[in-house]
């Protein structure tokens, strides 16, 4: 029997401000062999949400699972 997933976190309204969330440095990890998020969608996401740094990894959608050491190195 499959366990049910909590849906409340996906439905909760977030209140973000430039003063708080806007001041947090943001890094984007571009994944070049991602079969879930296309290169065009990644470009759109970066264009719509300014980031401070962009790193490129030859990874699928979950570099934390497929190449955790490389991900940690670029995030460090």
Question: How far is residue 39's CA from residue 21's CA, in Å, rounded to a whole number?
Answer: 26
pLDDT number for residue 1: 65
For the cut 70, the answer to whether the pLDDT of residue 6 exceeds it is: yes
Q: Are 44 and 69 in contact (CB under 8 A)?
A: no
pLDDT number for residue 52: 94
Question: How far is residue 47's CA from residue 60's CA, in Å, rounded to a whole number?
Answer: 21
Q: Tens digit of pLDDT for each residue in 14-70?
A: 888 888 888 889 999 999 999 999 999 999 999 998 899 999 999 999 999 999 999
The predicted model scores a pTM of: 0.73
Domain ranges of the chain: 17-75
Q: Say which DSSP state 31 is in.
A: E
């Amino acid at each position: 029997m499959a366990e049910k997933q909590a849906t409340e976190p996906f439905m909760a309204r977030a209140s973000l401000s430039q003063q708080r969330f806007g001041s947090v440095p943001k890094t984007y990890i571009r994944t070049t062999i991602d079969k879930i998020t296309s290169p065009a969608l990644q470009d759109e996401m970066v264009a719509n949400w300014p980031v401070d740094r962009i790193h490129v990894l030859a990874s699928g959608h979950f570099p934390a699972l497929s190449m955790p050491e490389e991900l940690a190195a670029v995030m460090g």
